[in-house]
Amino acid sequence: MSNGEKPKGKLALYWAASCGGCEIAVLAIDEKILDVAAAFDIVMWPCAADGKVRDIERMPDGSIDVCLFNGGIRTSEQEYMAQLMRRKSKVLVSFGSCATEGCIPGLSNMNTRQEVFDTVYKEGSSTAPVNPQDVRPQPETKVPEGTLHLPIFYDTLKTLDQTVDVDYYLPGCPPEAENIWKAIVAILEGKLPPKGSVIGMNTTVCDECKRKRNEKKIKKFYRTWQIIPDEETCLLEQGLLCCGIATRAGCGALCPQVNSPCIGCHGGNDGVADYGARLLSGVASVIDSGDPDEIDRIISEGIPDPVGSFYRFSLAGSQLRRKKKSKC
């Protein structure tokens, strides 16, 4: 691939349980997409190019050079596609937060399939009135012509690497254009890090944040709508739950720059087994109290949804992966 005279490589993009933003983010590399098109035949890119699953299935194993796979694994169809893309690709990149850590779709691991379906088909303000018979998707439906199948919807959303072997990770929700381009260049030049690496920086957002930092002591946490923070001082010191202290750098501290706390979309740095646990460890240690009751009060008043705050992007990829199911 390093030699421009060689035949073009094959590039695939695929999406599973995601919002589609990752696929659009690839287009944010602007005119450089032409360089990508010059180096690769794009064999699959649901959002931007034609490409049929059947054609992929017909390819010999390992014939796609690089597959950028975004989205978590939520249904049997997505699991099948993850296995297929793994088999057909030399390099499989877990692209973006959903594939890597579960991201926002992974937060539905706080519920079961039954609860998700209840919300969507029974209680939804737009769906319930048109579904008085409480019709729900069935994996099998018999019709005169035969049996129709729908994919199974899982109780627990899995990350890509909980499903198949993954070569590289690209963090972010979505990955920033600059980092996508860096990864593509690394692939083109054959200068990839060891297998299993995250293609990105290995320090925290605080290192990229220009705000002034002093000693952190927090008596009260505020939610973002409760205060207008000053634009100079560290947001965490002002009582906003800024996740920068535990979050992998690489974004240039985009959110703190615009007076909004980091929400942690890049996940943890290398060696962090559980992003949320690391973040809550750091946040808890700056609570300015030694009294158990006061500590409990500060937490419950300021952080009413600890899972949503600490595991917003990483619940599915965390050690516990989901909320305990009621019967098990």
Partner 1 sequence: MSNETFEPKIVGFLCNWCSYRAADLAGSARIKYAPNVRIIRLMCSGRVDPTFVVKALADGADGVMIAGCHPGECHYIEQNYKAMRRFHLLKQTLTALGVEPDRVQLVWASAAEGQRLAEAIDKLVADIKRLGPLRWPSNWDEDGGRLKALEEIVKEHEEAMEVPA
Helix (H, G, I), strand (E, B) or coil at 14: strand
| Residue 285 in the binding site for partner 1 (CB under 8 A) | yes
What is the full DSSP assignment across 145-164?
TEEEE-PPEEEEEE-GGGTS
Q: Which residue, chain included where needed, has tokens 């947001």? A: 235
| Residue 328 in the binding site for partner 1 (CB under 8 A) | yes
| Residue 214 in the binding site for partner 1 (CB under 8 A) | no
In the complex, least distance from residue 77 CB atom to partner 1, rounded to whole angstroms: 6
Rounded Cα gap, residues 113 and 62, in angstroms: 34
* Cβ-based nearer residue to partner 1, 254 or 303: 303
- Return the range that interacts with partner 1 (CB under 8 A); candidates 178-186, 194-202, 246-254, 273-281: 273-281
| Residue 276 in the binding site for partner 1 (CB under 8 A) | yes
| Residue 57 in the binding site for partner 1 (CB under 8 A) | yes
Are the CB atoms for 87 and 99 separated by under 8 Å? no
Q: Binding residue for partner 1 (CB under 8 A) from 156, 179, 247, 269?
A: 156
Candidates 142, 137, 11; CA nearest to 75 is 137
β-strand pairing of 40-44 with 64-70: unpaired
* Cβ-based nearer residue to partner 1, 68 or 157: 157
Rounded Cα gap, residues 253 and 273, in angstroms: 23
Q: Reading across the β-sheet that carries 89-95, which strands appear in turn?
A: 40-44, 9-15, 64-70, 89-95, 168-170
- The distance from CA 294 to its chain's CA centroid, rounded to whole angstroms, is 35
* Cβ-based nearer residue to partner 1, 30 or 215: 215
Are the CB atoms for 73 and 106 separated by under 8 Å? no
Helix (H, G, I), strand (E, B) or coil at 169: strand
| Residue 167 in the binding site for partner 1 (CB under 8 A) | no
What is the b/e burial string over 68-81, where b = at least 16 CB atoms within 10 angstroms of the residue's CB? bbbbbbbbebbbeb
In the complex, least distance from residue 129 CB atom to partner 1, rounded to whole angstroms: 30
| Residue 79 in the binding site for partner 1 (CB under 8 A) | yes
Q: Binding residue for partner 1 (CB under 8 A) from 152, 186, 192, 254?
A: 152
What are 41's strand-pairing partners? 10
In the complex, least distance from residue 304 CB atom to partner 1, rounded to whole angstroms: 9
| Residue 295 in the binding site for partner 1 (CB under 8 A) | yes
In the complex, least distance from residue 326 CB atom to partner 1, rounded to whole angstroms: 8
- Return the range that interacts with partner 1 (CB under 8 A); candidates 13-21, 120-128, 241-249, 283-291: 283-291
Are the CB atoms for 154 and 102 separated by under 8 Å? no
In the complex, least distance from residue 200 CB atom to partner 1, rounded to whole angstroms: 21
| Residue 300 in the binding site for partner 1 (CB under 8 A) | yes
Q: Binding residue for partner 1 (CB under 8 A) from 278, 312, 313, 314?
A: 278
Q: How many residues bind partner 1 (CB under 8 A)?
A: 50
Residues in contact with partner 1 by CB under 8 A are 53-54, 57-58, 76-77, 79-80, 110, 139, 149, 151-152, 154-156, 272-274, 276-278, 280-281, 283-285, 287, 289-290, 292, 295-296, 299-300, 303, 305-307, 310, 318-326, 328
